Structure 1
Amino acid sequence: MTSSSRFRVRSAIVLALPAIVLAGCGSRDSTEPEVRTEVRTVTVEATATPPTIAPTSIDRIVLPDTTAPEPSTSEPAAPVLVAMPPVVCMNLQSAQNAIQAAGVFYSRSADASGEGRMQVNDSNWIVVAQDPPAGTLIGEGDALLSAVKIGEPNNC
């Protein structure tokens, strides 16, 4: 059988199949009972009145206002400053953890080799310099840690 004749046979089957299925849907067995619908209207008169409910008193619980006062828009909040911890010769992840423990959550890091590599896995890098020096007051983003990969030449 050639491929074109196989295509014609398949096409005929695909086109005939829905007709066969639909033809089976319309048949009715004469032994099935006939179903009839009957509609009746019923009128009901209301004779009873709903019971009256006496009002009751309920104690109200008043909670104190616990919302924080809105900050004044005229004065910006003062930045929180903390002392920069000594982090030279720590792995970069531990150094960042120490700065966060001091109260600053955003610090920056840079490749001290000058190659501009990104510190993706911080625990594979060692801090060789810090700016500003330990003890200086810093805020968010002020800490800059220079690091090289562990195993590369460094001063630690």
Structure 2
Amino acid sequence: MPIVIGIVAVLVVIGLFTNNDDEPANTPSATPTTGVDLDTPPDTTEAPAPVAPQVGTAIQAVVPDVVGMNHQLAQDTLQANGFYVLVEEDATGQGRQLVWDRNWEVVSQSVAGGTAAPIDTTITLRSKKIDE
């Protein structure tokens, strides 16, 4: 029992001489701060009601003519004009995947170049390998 009392006494003495400058003071400030300005009346205005989207008002853009371009450049051109819903097909009917887009050439597009269309329109690019 005397050992426990000695250890407790040592810990108390160490605690009294330890520098606690890193810890915030526990003394309350003279003026409590609440973050609320009590002199200003509360704002009672209501937020405006959300506006429902109107049917048929999609953003439109002119579809560029990409026939004759390499497939990658055609995709880049369509996307630069706001068209991101793109489908690709092998124009030869062989069902091949267009893995390396740069060696394919667009032979037709589902929405003609120069046509105004909503930017969420699906545009199908039919391509064949260059030199076929």
TM-score (norm 2): 0.61
Alpha carbons of structure 1 residues 60 and 77: separation in structure 2 relative to 1, 3 Å: farther
Whether 1:126 aligns to 2:100 is no
Q: List runs of 5+ in structure 2 lacking aligned partners.
A: 13-25, 38-47
Alpha carbons of structure 1 residues 118 and 60: separation in structure 2 relative to 1, 3 Å: same
- Return the offset for 1:111: 0.5
What fraction of aligned residue pairs are identical, expressed as a percent? Answer: 34
- Backbone CA RMSD of aligned residues: 3.5
Q: List runs of 5+ in structure 1 lacking aligned partners.
A: 1-36, 45-49, 62-68
Aligned equivalents of 2:70, 2:33: Cα separation in 1 = 68
Higher relative contact order (CA 8 A, sep 6+): 2
Q: What CA deviation, in whole Å up to 9, does each residue of 1:28-50 have, x standing for no partner?
A: xxxxxxxxx91007699xxxxx8
Alpha carbons of structure 1 residues 51 and 101: separation in structure 2 relative to 1, 3 Å: closer
Aligned equivalents of 1:114, 1:131: Cα separation in 2 = 16
Q: Of Structure 1 and Structure 2, which has the larger fraction of its residues in strand?
A: 2
Q: Which of the pair has more CA radius of gyration?
A: 1
TM-score (norm 1): 0.53
Alpha carbons of structure 1 residues 52 and 114: separation in structure 2 relative to 1, 3 Å: closer
Aligned match for 1:144, one of 113, 124, 127: 124
Identify the residue that residue 111 of structure 1 maps to in structure 2: 90
- Return the offset for 1:72: 4.0
Aligned match for 1:87, one of 66, 77, 84: 66
Alpha carbons of structure 1 residues 74 and 137: separation in structure 2 relative to 1, 3 Å: closer
